[in-house]
């Protein structure tokens, strides 16, 4: 048994999980390593952060997903580096030797050289981030009910979302719904609808990856919901009192960061060439140049597509994961590795209740139709009947009652 080749997969996200599933029947030993015990359905993480879903609705234990795959072991462990010369993964508490390695550790928030902003702004990458953002949003409203200082109340009720990509737009839309609808009757000393939600984008428009018309539609929808969109605005400072856009100061107690990501900090230890965002410049078959035993997939890989890169979204990561498994199977059978070809699945971005924008090939749509499409695509990709059903129920409930079921503050112990 131990003579079988050992495939180590780092990361149980959309990419890494597909590799493991693709090797279910292969004559290899598979070890799937993740720092968390669960696969996270990241496209819906903003709904956990905005109290629409419970974290358990979008998280499935990795062990559970591969439990019937006898060749696969799951290890919950912190990876510190990769020793490519010795073919060993260095863990916080040990080492793991590999014959083949797939790096699928995704991306982390980047602060564009201002790491001190990380203390004051909240980025949304994992389950802990989501619960912390949820608590901070709800606590800001709680504190606004306590204070008697009008300026402080205004600061507590100002939410700044930095970054006008899909995550920023989703967060801003959900915040507007919370303030104007969900909490409308919950406070006595202020009207929650007076909360200000400011979406800041450095570029000329939100959802820049979509056609200009859809950006305009999204901006108009956000405006109707009460979100102030500030395009062409560069953040120059974030501190404990708020945000500065050049000479303008926006006092705010809650600053959410959705402005940029870079590859996970593991990529440099591969010793391979990286792009400006720390992504590995992989060969056409997703291997590291000079290391055919190492593949890099998902947000950690820079894979050319059209005049840019394969976008860092779920379909790209899943396709690369399946492709990595395919090439591993081919290698076992003595066949050559095939180059990876990305198949564009379009883009979908939701803004709020009944509103979304969609690009599917030549098809473009907005509003309710796009939103229904968004609902079905996301339910379809959610793993496991249980989660699909619960999320669909929560959404139906939210749609009908506009109440959010997960408004629970789980603070730290005093």
Q: How far is the CB of 153 from a second copy (least distance, A)?
A: 15
Site pattern 331..350 for a second copy (x: CB under 8 A) = --------------------
Residue choice 4, 21, 77, 326 for contact with a second copy (CB under 8 A): 77
Q: Catalytic residue at 170?
A: yes
Cα gap 146→282, rounded to integer Å: 54
Residues in contact with a second copy, counted by CB under 8 A, come to a total of 54
Q: How far is the CB of 106 from a second copy (least distance, A)?
A: 17
Residue choice 78, 116, 211, 369 for contact with a second copy (CB under 8 A): 78
Nearer to a second copy, 73 or 354 (CB): 73
Radius of gyration of the chain (CA): 22
Nearer to a second copy, 327 or 387 (CB): 387
Stretch of 111-119, 139-147, 224-232, 356-364 contacting a second copy, by CB under 8 A: 139-147
State the catalytic residue, choosing from 132, 170, 177, 201.
170
DSSP result, 125-193: -SHHHHHHHHHHHHHHHHHHHH---HHHHHHHTEEEEE--SHHHHHHHHHHHHIIIIITTTT-SSS-GG
Identify the DSSP state of 267: G
Are 161 and 258 contacting, i.e. CB atoms less than 8 angstroms apart? yes
Residue choice 190, 342, 381, 397 for contact with a second copy (CB under 8 A): 397
Nearer to a second copy, 77 or 231 (CB): 77
Binders of a second copy among residues 369 to 388 (CB under 8 A) are 386-387
Contacts of residue 151, defined as CB under 8 A and 6 or more positions apart, other chains included, come to 251
Asked if 183 is part of the footprint of a second copy (rule: CB under 8 A), the reply reads yes
Q: For residue 165, which phi and psi values (nearest 5 degrees)?
A: -80, -170
Asked if 353 is part of the footprint of a second copy (rule: CB under 8 A), the reply reads no
Asked if 145 is part of the footprint of a second copy (rule: CB under 8 A), the reply reads yes
Asked if 38 is part of the footprint of a second copy (rule: CB under 8 A), the reply reads yes
Site pattern 85..104 for a second copy (x: CB under 8 A) = --------xx----------
- The two beta strands, 287-288 and 355-360, are unpaired
Please return the burial class of 183, using the count of CB atoms within 10 Å of its CB with bins 0-12, 13-18 and 19+: buried
Nearer to a second copy, 53 or 198 (CB): 53
Nearer to a second copy, 38 or 155 (CB): 38
Q: How far is the CB of 278 from a second copy (least distance, A)?
A: 20
Question: Does the CA dihedral 50-53-56-60 come out positive or negative?
Answer: negative
Residue choice 83, 95, 99, 142 for contact with a second copy (CB under 8 A): 142
Strand order in the sheet with 196-200: 121-123, 254-257, 158-162, 196-200, 227-230
Q: How far is the CB of 40 from a second copy (least distance, A)?
A: 9
Cα gap 228→62, rounded to integer Å: 40
Q: Supply the angle between the helices 166-177 and 212-225 in degrees, to the nearest 10.
A: 20
Between the alpha carbon of residue 163 and those of residues 58, 119, 125, 233, 409, the distances in Å are 24, 17, 14, 10, 25
Q: How far is the CB of 95 from a second copy (least distance, A)?
A: 12
Identify the DSSP state of 98: -
Cα gap 53→43, rounded to integer Å: 12
Site pattern 50..69 for a second copy (x: CB under 8 A) = ----xxxx-x-x-xx--xx-
Cα gap 410→214, rounded to integer Å: 37
What amino acid positions are annotated as catalytic residues? 170
Q: Which residues bind a second copy (CB under 8 A)?
A: 36-38, 54-57, 59, 61, 63-64, 67-68, 70, 73-78, 93-94, 127-128, 131, 138-139, 142, 145-146, 183, 185-189, 386-387, 389-390, 393-394, 397, 401, 403, 405-411, 413-414
């Amino acid at each position: 048994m131990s003579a079988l080749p050992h495939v180590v997969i780092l990361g149980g996200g959309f990419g890494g999980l597909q590799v493991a599933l693709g090797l279910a029947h292969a004559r290899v030993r598979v070890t799937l390593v993740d720092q968390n015990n669960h696969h996270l359905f990241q496209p819906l993480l903003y709904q956990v952060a905005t109290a629409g879903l419970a974290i358990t609705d979008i998280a499935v234990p990795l062990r559970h997903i591969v439990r019937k795959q006898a060749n696969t072991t799951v290890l919950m462990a912190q990876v510190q580096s990769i020793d490519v010369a010795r073919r060993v993964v260095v863990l916080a508490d040990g080492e793991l030797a590999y014959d083949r390695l797939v790096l699928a550790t995704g991306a982390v928030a980047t602060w564009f050289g201002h790491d001190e902003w990380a203390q004051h702004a909240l980025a949304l990458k994992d389950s802990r981030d989501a619960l912390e953002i949820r608590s901070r949003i709800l606590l800001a409203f709680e504190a606004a009910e306590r204070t008697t200082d009008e300026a402080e109340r205004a600061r507590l009720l100002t939410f700044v979302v930095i970054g006008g990509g899909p995550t920023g737009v989703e967060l801003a839309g959900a915040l507007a719904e919370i303030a104007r609808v969900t909490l409308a009757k919950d406070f006595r000393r202020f009207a929650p609808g007076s909360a200000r939600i400011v979406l800041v984008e450095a570029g000329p428009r939100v959802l820049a990856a979509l056609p200009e018309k859809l950006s305009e539609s999204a901006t108009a929808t956000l405006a109707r919901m009460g979100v102030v969109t500030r395009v062409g605005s560069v953040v120059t400072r974030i501190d404990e009192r708020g945000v500065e856009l050049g000479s303008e100061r926006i006092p705010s107690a809650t600053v959410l960061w959705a402005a940029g990501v870079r590859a996970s900090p593991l990529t440099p230890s591969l010793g391979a060439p990286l792009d400006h965002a720390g992504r590995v410049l992989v060969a056409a078959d997703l291997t590291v140049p000079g290391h055919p035993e190492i593949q890099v997939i998902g947000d950690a890989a820079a894979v050319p597509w059209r005049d840019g890169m394969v976008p860092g979204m779920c379909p790209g990561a899943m396709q690369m994961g399946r492709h990595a498994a395919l090439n591993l199977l081919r290698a076992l059978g003595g066949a050559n590795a095939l180059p990876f070809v990305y198949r564009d699945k379009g883009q979908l971005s939701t803004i709020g209740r009944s509103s979304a924008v969609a690009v599917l090939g030549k098809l473009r749509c907005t509003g309710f139709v796009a939103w229904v499409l968004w609902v079905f695509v996301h339910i379809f990709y959610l793993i496991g009947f249980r989660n699909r059903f619960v999320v669909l129920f929560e959404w139906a409930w939210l749609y009908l009652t506009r109440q959010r079921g997960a408004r629970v503050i789980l603070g730290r112990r005093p």
